[in-house]
């Protein structure tokens, strides 16, 4: 995990740092997406065409960390 703000260079690094910080303090993280749309690239090139995926409904992701 990145220790300083200058080391966070991507969204996944930011999410990991936030998760580790919050769960280390006994927090619960909950996400809810309603009628989500995601643009999914065909490949990893910078000009790759994308498909639009639409999820009609709700997706909920809940995480928690049980303290031993």
Average pLDDT over residues 3-22: 74
pLDDT of residue 13: 85
pLDDT digits (tens, 9 = 90+) for 21-43: 777 766 777 788 888 899 988 88
The widest CA-to-CA distance across the chain, in whole angstroms, is: 48
Other C-beta atoms within 10 Å of 17: how many? 17
Single pTM value for the model: 0.43
Q: Are 38 and 7 within 8 A, CB to CB?
A: no
């Amino acid at each position: 995990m990145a220790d300083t703000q200058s080391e966070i260079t991507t969204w996944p690094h930011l999410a990991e740092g936030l998760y580790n910080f919050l769960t280390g303090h006994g927090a619960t993280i909950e996400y809810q997406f309603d009628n989500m749309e995601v643009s999914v690239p065909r490949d990893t090139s910078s000009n790759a065409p994308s498909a639009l995926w639409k999820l009609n409904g709700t997706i909920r992701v809940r995480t928690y960390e049980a303290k031993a």
